[in-house]
A and B are shown apart, each in its own frame.
Chain A
Amino acid sequence: MSTRLRIFMTGVGGQGTLTATTLLARAALSAGCDVTSGEIHGMAQRGGVVESTLLIGYKSPKIGHGEADILLGFEPLETLRALPYLKPGGLVLSSTECLAPLSVATGKETAPSVEEIRAMVTARCATACFLPCRSLGLQAGAVQSGNIALLGALCALGVLPFGREVVEATIRATMKPKVAEINLKALNLGAACPA
């Protein structure tokens, strides 16, 4: 397959950023893509930022500034922070639901509001798609499935070299039936968002 694609993913420790990355990488592999993914998560479990990558048609697992075709943000502030990785004309998919850093939650610093983040992101990329991942996850049956909703929206935009059915099959093949049902529901809820 000749498609080349770089996807940068970012979120907060515990959100399931890496689960989503691995799921998408498995789906890409089963679709016959030449896939590599990478992750940096030294102290992620302790509330830090988790960044991961998925590349199709490349050998490197790393994405530099201005190189990503797609940015997936599982938390809006992290979406904004990762924008320098997006190349001109790139696509952003982001959750709209914030997890405030401790300094913000305790009033020591301020962060831009979701509306401000949305405006700043929209002004700085070609296409942006926002969805309430956490709520969609809860609607599907588990808050952790919110990240799969973001993958659903990504599938619906038709920018991947494989379709949603490949992700569905990967969910069925790699998750326990009960968990798979919730994630399939989240995938579909997310897929219904970009309109």
Chain B
Amino acid sequence: MAHPLLAGAPGETHLFLGNEAIVRGAIEAGIQFVSCYPGTPSSEVPDTFFRLSPEGSYTFEYSVNEKVALEVAGGATLAGALSLVTMKHVGVNVAADPLLTLTYVGSPGGFVLLSADDPGCHSSQNEQDNRIYARIAGLPCLEPATAQEAKDMTRAALEMSRTLGAPVLLRTTTRVNHLRGPVRLGEATVLPKPAGFQKNPSRFVPIPAFARPMHLRLLETLEKARALAETSPFNTVSGSGTVGVIASGISRAYLADALLEADLTGTVKVLDLGFSYPLPEKLLEGFMSGLSTLLVLEELEPVLENELRALAQRLGLSLTILGKTPGLLPRFGEYDVAMVAAALRQALGLPAPAPLACSCGADPVVALPTPLPNRPPNLCAGCPHRATYVAVRKIFGDTAVYSSDIGCYTLGILPPLKAADFLLCMGSSVSAGCGAAKAAGQTVVGFIGDSTFFHSGITGLVNAVFNRHNILLVILDNRTTAMTGHQPNPGVDKTNLGDNPVRVEIEPLVRGLGITNIRKVNPLNQKATLAAIEELKDLPGVRVLIAEEPCPLFARRAYGQKRTQVAYVAADCASAAADGTCGDCLNTLACPAFYLDNGKMAIDPILCAGCMLCLQVCKNIKARKGDA
């Protein structure tokens, strides 16, 4: 049966994840080309396109990084295809170079960039506000707050982009990507086949002489977009009064609920700003005139607030504007209903809300009786990264600086592995590691996963060779992009849809850079891994250890790998808590299958993945047959 995302009929209502709703919106617009680099909270968009791709009438690819993804989709729109490129917020930094010129060159087929921002850093290294990219690049920007809007705005963004011939930004946040709600479907459009690229160098080649008029044309396009924003169905005014609220993104949902709960719906004037850039200045002038106080609701940076202050000044309006600047609302993290309700009361001149209470007592923050043990995410049982880290630590201990990168293996930060000392961004393990080593002569070991290596580790490695850096780079090749949900990368044998027919091998690639000190091991073989690290340890220059073993979660699904052995603790083990003399396995591996059974070391036979790493650490751990 065809999936409702593809085959659902107009008028039907389905419960969709925000990210699924984006897919449906693109399908309704007649999407022809999709590229991406996966990353939470955006990943379900490309993963859904990938899963449906055998039945869909669009071209889809997982590109090697966000810059490449944006360029590929940029080329596709130049050849007339309605194109979508998806990434997480920090990915837009990687793609910023082509993005800021694509807006000059234009997008004849239509082009939407989905930037999935992450206020609160639920799964990211920063919480940058990508609405600023709309300003610096010149992108009309739409910001959904519900699943229905995620669908409707994706469609509208693609259609507007095709009409204007200009790229459009669809900006979401984690809460929107990962909410579920009812979505009423619309009619799916079938567009004519892309016409192909039409040669016109003065239009498409931004040499300085052509770039200047291109910039003017972009500014004119933004004025056309502003005119569309003035009458957009996504910018709606409701309520009345002399206190107004302008809200964007998910803050609109918090505002609606805050008004509902305080029974204030209709008593303040509200502008829901869904089409948030360029600002609809006429609409805003009408909205702000007659207001004594305006509250601006936007997570992260005071982007709208500052623009509204500038607009009010230009229009000579003397209203009080509340937002981030008077210290009312934070410039970091997420908003919520209570926070918005408190700001709303201040704008209305009402007394501060009653202190927050919860079931446990007055203050939820101190409501629990004792600090509870945390449950940090951990490398899975059987994860080959654990084996690599154990071996590296055995040889270097704390004498090396561990330059980490982005992936599951960043979880190696936790004790006892402690294999992440610093981290900047995708690919930085190599280059930042080189710089750290050169500055003071410290020993640096870098860790990078296979997908991250293809993403932007290769460039750093070329630089390391060229500039004669000293680094031992460990490429943790687990044959998939594990952290974000097992997406394929150029090196994999298998994808979730079958075999990968074209494989880029890491070892010959590294060799091709002129690196000669290369070892390739299966990290689950500790003896061989330790020997390889010993050999590479004291050599000068760039050395590469490739630790190759599939992610066990992926291997189970994609390779049909079965567990053949289970580890157990022999009866005569003098374990950690018993006399304090042992506990190597507990203290060095942190395997989720380990536990203490009445003070005695034990291994959960259900959780054990059968990697047999622990057998190589302690002679008291044995293997028995087991395929559970």
Q: Are A12 and B15 in contact (CB under 8 A)?
A: no
Number of chain A residues close to chain B: CB under 8 A: 62
- Do residues A37 and B373 form an inter-chain contact, with CB atoms below 8 A? no
- Answer whether residue A115 sits at the interface, using C-beta atoms and an 8 A cutoff: no
- Does residue A192 face the partner (Cβ distance < 8 Å to B)? no
Shortest CB distance B416–A (Å): 10
Answer whether residue A124 sits at the interface, using C-beta atoms and an 8 A cutoff.
Answer: yes
Digit string of B107-147 for contact with A (CB within 8 Å is 1, else 0)?
A: 00000000000000011000000000000000000000111
B181 and A105: CB pair below 8 A? no
How many A-B contacts at CB < 8 Å in the complex? 181
**Are the C-beta atoms of B359 and A103 separated by less than 8 Å?**
no
A49 to B595, CA, bound (A): 19
18 additional A-B residue pairs with CB within 8 Å, beyond A13-B377, A42-B122, A48-B376: A36-B181, A43-B123, A47-B375, A60-B253, A81-B372, A83-B359, A83-B368, A84-B368, A86-B360, A88-B359, A89-B359, A100-B595, A102-B592, A106-B586, A107-B576, A107-B577, A110-B373, A124-B367
Q: Who on chain B is nearest to A34 by CB?
A: B182
Q: Residue-by-residue, is A1-23 near B (CB-CB < 8 Å gives 1, otherwise 0)?
A: 00010000000110000000110
Within the assembled complex, what's the spacing in Å between the Cα atoms of A59 and B256?
Answer: 7
A43 touches B254 (CB 8 A): no
Indicate whether B553 reaches chain A with its CB closer than 8 angstroms: yes
Q: A25-B180, A84-B360, A124-B360 are in contact. Are A59 and B253 (CB under 8 A)?
A: yes
Interface membership of A58, Cβ < 8 A: yes
User: From residue A87, how far is it (CB to closest CB) to chain B in Å?
Assistant: 6
Also in contact, A105 and B15, with CB within 8 A (given A60-B250, A83-B367): no
Give the interface centre of B122, B250, B378, B577 by most chain A CB atoms within 10 Å: B378
B411 interfacial contact with A, CB 8 Å: yes
Query: Which residue of chain A is the closest to B123 with respect to CB atoms?
Result: A42
A interface residues, Cβ below 8 angstroms from B: 4, 12-13, 21-22, 25-26, 29, 34-49, 58-62, 64-67, 77-78, 80-81, 83-90, 92, 100-107, 109-112, 120, 124-126
Measured CB to CB, the nearest residue on chain A to B604 is A105
**Cβ-based interface call for B336 (8 A):** yes
| A46 with B178, Cβ < 8 A, contacts A90-B359, A105-B594 known | no
B11 CB within 8 Å of chain A? no
CA distance A48 to B379 in the complex (A): 10
Say whether, besides A60-B254, A83-B359, A65 and B365 are in contact (CB < 8 Å). yes
Closest chain A residue, CB of each to CB of B595: A105
The 9 closest A-B pairs by CB, nearest first: A42-B123, A84-B364, A105-B595, A61-B179, A65-B364, A86-B359, A46-B377, A43-B377, A66-B358
Question: Is B250 within 8 A of A124, CB to CB?
Answer: no
Determine whether the beta carbon of B337 is less than 8 Å from that of A64.
Answer: yes
Q: Do A104 and B373 contact each other (CB < 8 Å), given the known contacts A58-B260, A83-B358?
A: yes
Q: Are A66 and B368 in contact (CB under 8 A)?
A: no
Q: How far is the CA of A61 from the CA of B150 in the complex (A)?
A: 14
